[in-house]
Amino acid sequence: MDITPCRFGTSDQSLETIPIAVEFSGGLELLFSNQRKHQISLPTKDEDGQTANVAFLVQYLCQHLMKDRRKELFVMGGTVRPGILVLINDADWELEGENSYELQNGDNVLFVSTLHGG
Amino acid sequence: MAPTPCALCHTSRALIIRPKNHQKLCKTCFVTIFETEIHNTITANSLFHRGERIAIGASGGKDSTVLASVLKTLDERHDYGLDLVLLSIDEGIKGYRDDSLETVKRNALQYEMPLEIVGYDELYGWTMDQVVEQIGKKGNCTYCGVFRRQALDRGAARLGIKHVVTGHNADDIAETLMMNLLRGDLPRLARATGIVTDSTASEIKRSKPLKYAYEKEIVLYAHHKGLDYFTTECIYSPEAFRGSARTLIKNLERIRPSAILDVVRSGEDMAKLVPEGVGGGSKRAKDVVVIDGEEEGPGGCGSANGRASGGEMAAMEQKLRDDEKAQENEVEITVSTLNGQRHEGTNTVPKQPRTKAPRTMPKQQMGNCSRCGYLSSQAICKACMLLEGLNKNRPKMQIQVGVDEEDNSPTLTRRMEGLTIPPG
């Protein structure tokens, strides 16, 4: 397994975090340091004290994990760009409540782009 | 949220929600229904016959990989009796195609299919890397598209195969339809919906078994089956990613997933309304329109072989821009074709404002290109025309050929006849 520890650890945070695995494929990995799988420690609460959900995760990834400046290739209108599939533990995020799904310890979230040429 | 059970088997946990009908399915039921629907498309349209040899246009990308996997599965399950071969085009793009070809080579082993690779360098004497080195990145997709079309046919011919299947999916077709609708291109609107492309511009039949398959489901199928496919953008067409028809279709899908198939079905209905002479139903009209054997437009830009995607969109955007600037273009040609002002006054191309109407379809006879012998409606086929431009080091030519594929080539020929280009 090519799991690399996340660079954005909890050292500077007093907040609690949960470990989750984030994967990018279908060309999206190119926007994330050309690395398919990332282990991250996600704060359990967002800045407003709400439990971390997918919307927060996407925003977090954009701010902390994505080095590429072309944010619009991942996020559009405050959510994941249409044409990018989101699978939470292999299930379509539409079955899990999409942005409002609250992340659990050890969740695996996969973002697959369908936008790239085959 | 409590796990939702599969709507079909009622036992396993649903992982997929189908775009076309919101059905919630488990992995196994999804894989089965996806394959079954493609089987239904194949049988309803009588795409294949027993013993037929089929070349699968394989790029190593998701669509063609899924197509190869599904066709192998269905051929075994339903005993189609097909002889399946992978046919790949090597455009000669380092850092892109050489990597994706490695994927195709692995697929050939995984699916136990023979693989034929046809290279632009062997066919045309130019790799795309060399073409781009000469003409720059702008407009290179035109070359790639024209070359690819012929290359697939030639590859099939080399194998003695008369039927090539490509991985075009419902999203691709919806995008193409929107583009053709928006630019009022009736002949292409009529043709884009067809599941089989059959024309005298080519002896090779083309078909699209994934025509009704959502791109989303293709990606999910590849994911859940663990298929080995390649994803990278063509290094020469990064803008293909942002194609606006593509974005529109994906936005529609987000609002109402069934929209994609609705667009495809509407396109089929509209195609029936296109008058015969314009290139819709009649075989003859088709023959005339597909003069350059390029009814799918330049399908370059790293999409599945011939697959309509961003590249076509880029081509359309280019066309729209060029239409707006038709006048400017004329000026460009006058200047650029001369390689300097030495010949001013003697060789100046007369300004011929491009008239849109009346757009008469020239009655053309299919013959063979006098250079390469390939089927062509013109004395010299389009690939040879582009090659001549490359070989004579006249980069601007590509814009004219790429812009008005259907009615401009004769004009171009006239212009070229009127020119004498100093050697070198």
A-chain residue closest to B62, CA distance: A118
pLDDT tens-digit series, residues B99-135: 889 999 999 999 999 999 999 999 899 999 998 888 8
CB A38 within 8 A of CB A65: yes
Can you tell me the distance from the alpha carbon of B318 to that of B323, in angstroms, rounded to the nearest whole number? Answer: 8
Q: Is a pLDDT exceeding 60 seen at residue B26?
A: yes
Contacts of A82 in chain B (CB under 8 A): 247, 250-251, 253-254
Can you tell me the distance from the alpha carbon of B232 to that of B95, in angstroms, rounded to the nearest whole number? Answer: 10
- β-pair type (A91-92, B205-207): unpaired
Q: Which residue has the higher pLDDT, B264 or B331?
A: B264
Mutate to test the interface with A, among B228, B241, B242, B248 (most CBs of A within 10 A): B241
Domain range summary for chain B, segments of one domain joined by +: 45-317
CB distance A82–B234 less than 8 Å? no
B-chain residue closest to A115, CA distance: B241
CB A114 within 8 A of CB A28: no
A92 in contact with B at a CB cutoff of 8 Å? Answer: yes
A14-23, B22-31, B318-327: which has the minimum mean pLDDT?
A: B318-327
B17 in contact with A at a CB cutoff of 8 Å? Answer: yes
Nearest to A114 among B16, B216, B224 (CB): B216
Nearest to B219 among A73, A82, A114 (CB): A114
B241 in contact with A at a CB cutoff of 8 Å? Answer: yes
**DSSP assignment of A17-35:** EEEEEEEEETTGGGGTTT-
- Cβ of B200: how many Cβ atoms within 10 Å? 18
Contacts of A118 in chain B (CB under 8 A): 59, 61-65, 167, 229, 231, 303-304, 307, 309
**CA distances (Å), B260 to each of B174, B211, B309, in order?**
6, 11, 15
B residues 131-190 lying closer than 8 A (beta carbon) to A: 167, 171
Give residue A14's region: left, alpha or beta (phi > 0; psi -120 to 50). Answer: alpha
B36 in contact with A at a CB cutoff of 8 Å? Answer: no
Sign of CA pseudo-dihedral B350, B355, B360, B363? positive
List Cβ neighbours of B356 (8 Å cut-off, separation of 6 or more).
none
CB distance A91–B303 less than 8 Å? no
Instruction: Assign domain A17-113 to its CATH superfamily.
Output: Beta-grasp domain (3.10.20.30)
Question: Facing residues of B376 across strands?
Answer: B367
* Average pLDDT of chain B, as a whole number: 76
List Cβ neighbours of B101 (8 Å cut-off, separation of 6 or more).
B60, B88, B90, B117
Task: Kindly state the helix (H) or strand (E) to which residue A69 belongs, with its residue range.
Answer: none
Task: Check if CATH label 3.40.50.620 holds for domain B45-317.
Answer: yes
Q: Which residue has the higher pLDDT, B61 or B324?
A: B61
A98 to chain B, minimum CA–CA distance in Å?
11
CA–centroid distance for B55 within its chain: 16
CB A100 within 8 A of CB A13: no
pLDDT at B275: 77
Can you tell me the distance from the alpha carbon of B174 to that of B171, in angstroms, rounded to the nearest whole number? Answer: 5
Can you tell me the distance from the alpha carbon of B159 to that of B369, in angstroms, rounded to the nearest whole number? Answer: 21
> Average pLDDT for residues B251-255, to the nearest whole number?
90
Could you tell me the two tokens for A113?
A: 């782009």
**Closest by alpha carbon to B230, among B85, B62, B91?**
B62
Model confidence at B66, pLDDT cuts 50, 70, 90, reads: very high
pLDDT at B83: 97
pLDDT tens-digit series, residues B230-251: 886 676 765 554 467 888 888 8
Q: Tell me, what's the ipTM?
A: 0.85
CB distance B16–A112 less than 8 Å? no
Contacts of B250 in chain A (CB under 8 A): 81-83, 114-115
Can you tell me the distance from the alpha carbon of B22 to that of B3, in angstroms, rounded to the nearest whole number? Answer: 16
A98 in contact with B at a CB cutoff of 8 Å? Answer: no
pLDDT at B390: 85
Can you tell me the distance from the alpha carbon of B180 to that of B186, in angstroms, rounded to the nearest whole number? Answer: 7
**Closest by alpha carbon to A95, among B253, B5, B261?**
B5
CB distance B63–A91 less than 8 Å? no
Task: Kindly state the helix (H) or strand (E) to which residue A75 belongs, with its residue range.
Answer: strand A75-76
Could you tell me the two tokens for B341?
A: 């002002």
- Cβ of B236: how many Cβ atoms within 10 Å? 24
At position B161, the amino acid (one-letter code) is I
CB B382 within 8 A of CB B408: no
A55 in contact with B at a CB cutoff of 8 Å? Answer: no
Can you tell me the distance from the alpha carbon of B190 to that of B286, in angstroms, rounded to the nearest whole number? Answer: 10
Task: Kindly state the helix (H) or strand (E) to which residue A84 belongs, with its residue range.
Answer: strand A84-88
CA–centroid distance for B322 within its chain: 21
pLDDT tens-digit series, residues B157-185: 999 999 999 999 999 999 888 888 888 88
Nearest to A92 among B16, B61, B233 (CB): B16
Could you tell me the two tokens for B112?
A: 């136990």
CB distance B61–A73 less than 8 Å? no
Count of pairs with CB atoms under 8 A, one residue in A, one in B? 92
**Closest by alpha carbon to B351, among B336, B328, B334?**
B334
A17 in contact with B at a CB cutoff of 8 Å? Answer: no
CB distance B251–A82 less than 8 Å? yes
Q: Which residue has the higher pLDDT, A52 or B366?
A: A52
B219 in contact with A at a CB cutoff of 8 Å? Answer: yes
Q: Residue A102 phi/psi, 5° resolution?
A: -90, 125
pLDDT tens-digit series, residues B285-340: 333 333 333 344 333 343 333 333 444 555 555 665 666 655 444 444 444 444 44
Q: Is a pLDDT exceeding 90 seen at residue B193?
A: no
> Average pLDDT for residues B219-238, to the nearest whole number?
83
pLDDT at B1: 58
- Cβ of B191: how many Cβ atoms within 10 Å? 23
CB-based burial label for B262 (10 Å; 0-12, 13-18, 19+): middle
The single-letter DSSP state of residue B396 is T
B-chain residue closest to A100, CA distance: B1
Mutate to test the interface with B, among A51, A79, A102, A116 (most CBs of B within 10 A): A116
CB distance A114–B215 less than 8 Å? yes
CB distance B216–A85 less than 8 Å? yes
> Average pLDDT for residues A32-46, to the nearest whole number?
93
pLDDT at B227: 93
pLDDT at B351: 52
